[in-house]
Structure 1
Amino acid sequence: MMLPTHAIAGMLLALPAALAMPEFGSVALGAGFLGGVLPDLDMYVGHRETLHYPVYYAAVGVASLPVTLLIPSATTVGLTALLLAAAAHSVADVFGGGLELRPWEATSRRAVYDHYHGRWIAPRRGVGYDGSPTDLLLTVLLAAPLLAVVGPPYRWLVAGALVVAIVYASVRRTLPTVAEHLVSSLPAWTTPYLPARYRARHAPADE
């Protein structure tokens, strides 16, 4: 799934806490947004492995829930929202495409690395791929309740993420070709430092 989908999903996940504890509403929504974004900071360094933890984020996030309920504070609410949003991101990526440059071709058997079991989880492809029409539809559906409930500045943040999602989805199929042209113009010494999906027309099955 594309980053705006994850960011909006993280905010939606934090919405109940924001409504139940309005004094921490801003913290919850902000942490949900950041947690939705956090795993994809590994985009160019071990993508979906370095910062994607489908088991550990969920375990720690769920364990922190009773602490948050017993001792609500900006720290506990924010940390729990961050962890649960990051867990949702890591798990949701399993239902998208694999790590290949053109995920609609379904050549990769790797979706997200499960550190707990020490293996890659295969992509389910229920949402197609990041930026697919299904992914965009999901983004719109997730954004709708947030736009109806939250106020500024988070309403503008959701609207901005939605605009980014629409633009990204509209050009998604052309991006691999653009990336290949850019990579072909780079000095040869940079090649080993690029993710495999940018070095070949088809990423290897174990990418």
Structure 2
Amino acid sequence: MATTHALVGMALALPAAYAVPELAPVVLVAGLVGGLFPDLDLYVGHRKTLHYPVYYPIAAGLALVWALLSPGTLTVALATFLLGAAVHSVMDAFGGGLEMRPWLETADRAVYDHYRGRWIAPKRGVRYDGAPEDLLLAVSAALPMVVLLDGPLSELVVVLVAVSAGYALVRKQLVRITMWIVSRLPTRIRTRLPSRYHET
């Protein structure tokens, strides 16, 4: 779930937020945005255009070294942003495939490896977005933040968990609704949608 990626990105930023308390809001938001960022390619080459399971970790490592050598708002925020994006890209390899009904396990593509020039097959440790284990991961990432944070960021974490729980409850029904809507779209719009929307 996008919310799981956001929460994991924030959780990864939590140590930096405690190490440099005056930067906590910036760092936590950078982790959240980094956790979400790769999914901006949802309708344009999803899990390929903005997913880099090899290059993001390298960039995050370099940015972390820079932040340690020269701690400041920009360096720490950049490091946490890239760390969130890196973990998102790697996490997707351990999830389900790109199909509309990933619980059927028909797809052999999880995330594109630009370094090797090939798709990584889904490992299905989390069977699909919105699966019970996905919700468990989201809650696990959120718990330390609910305990340690206060104010708007803590409230945001609670909202993200609530959205995660709601999505998990209706995940399979959403596919039926989406496919019903897509089938009624004008052909010129339908043909522009990613191939997963043409599954039967």
* TM-score normalized with structure 1 length: 0.95
Per-residue CA deviations over 1:123-153 (Å, capped at 9, x if unaligned) read 0001111000111111111110110001211
Tell me the distance in 2 between the aligned counterparts of 1:136 and 1:112. 21
Q: Does 1:24 align with 2:18?
A: no
- How do 1:101-140 and structure 2 match up within 5 A? 101-140=100-139
- How do 1:7-18 and structure 2 match up within 5 A? 7-18=6-17
Offset at residue 199 of structure 1 (A): 1.0
Per-residue CA deviations over 1:52-79 (Å, capped at 9, x if unaligned) read 1111111011011121011111100100
* Amino acid in the other structure paired with 2:134: D
Q: Secondary structure at the match of 1:174?
A: helix
Per-residue CA deviations over 1:76-133 (Å, capped at 9, x if unaligned) read 0100000000000000011110000100000000000011111100000011110001
- How do 1:57-136 and structure 2 match up within 5 A? 57-136=56-135
Q: Secondary structure at the match of 1:193?
A: coil
CA RMSD, 1 decimal: 0.8
Q: Secondary structure at the match of 2:119?
A: strand
- Corresponding residue number in structure 2 for 1:160: 159
Tell me the distance in 2 between the aligned counterparts of 1:7 and 1:187. 34
Tell me the distance in 2 between the aligned counterparts of 1:44 and 1:178. 18
For structure 2, the residue ranges without an aligned partner over 5 or more in a row are none
Tell me the distance in 1 between the aligned counterparts of 2:7 and 2:32. 7
- Corresponding residue number in structure 2 for 1:47: 46
Runs of 4 or more above 4 Å deviation: none
- Corresponding residue number in structure 2 for 1:205: none
Q: Does 1:178 align with 2:160?
A: no
Tell me the distance in 2 between the aligned counterparts of 1:38 and 1:64. 17
- Report how many aligned residue pairs link the two structures: 200
Per-residue CA deviations over 1:19-59 (Å, capped at 9, x if unaligned) read 01112111110100000110111111111011111111110
Q: Secondary structure at the match of 2:191?
A: helix
- Corresponding residue number in structure 2 for 1:145: 144
Tell me the distance in 2 between the aligned counterparts of 1:155 and 1:48. 29
Percent of residue pairs bearing the same amino acid type: 54
Tell me the distance in 1 between the aligned counterparts of 2:151 and 2:120. 38
Offset at residue 182 of structure 1 (A): 0.4
Offset at residue 166 of structure 1 (A): 0.6
* Amino acid in the other structure paired with 2:115: Y
Tell me the distance in 1 between the aligned counterparts of 2:199 and 2:11. 37
* Amino acid in the other structure paired with 1:39: P
For structure 1, the residue ranges without an aligned partner over 5 or more in a row are 202-207
